Amino acid sequence: MPARTIRFHVPESASRTDDEIQDEFDDLVTRACEGDRHALTALAIAYSNMLLKEARAEMGHFKQDAGDVLADFYRAVMEGEALFDPDEERAGVWMRRIVRELARRYRAARERDWGIDR
């Protein structure tokens, strides 16, 4: 059976600039921080793997607990403790920064619990 070529054409009206896409993502994160569960679910589905990698990179010997850090991040977003300001930075940068900070705090607390000196 011969191969069939399928062509897909994106109309010019459907193309968006990177800035437009970033603005839409900033809006999604803003809505999640305001308590929109659908927005938070979309973030969790699309970005959990990337955020887990960020957490693991910061956690050293405790990287197996990265899921706890990610859960703390999503809880902080949902409860309004993690506040995103799109005038300060882009949403992707903000999410990675917050997760890394939570991971550093988690690691430091575990190191204290275990009596590990840095």
Tens digit of pLDDT per residue, the chain (118 long)? 666 666 666 566 668 899 999 999 999 999 999 999 999 999 999 999 999 999 999 999 999 999 999 999 999 999 999 999 999 999 999 999 999 999 999 999 999 988 877 6
**What is the model's pTM?**
0.82
3-class secondary structure per residue, 46-101:
HHHHHHHHHHHHHHHHHHHHHHHHHHHHHHHHHCCCCCCCCCCCCHHHHHHHHHHH
Q: How many CB atoms are located within 10 Å of the residue 45 CB?
A: 9
pLDDT tens digits, 11-43: 666 688 999 999 999 999 999 999 999 999 999
Longest dimension (CA), the chain: 67
The answer as to CATH 2.30.31.20 being correct for domain 20-114 is: no
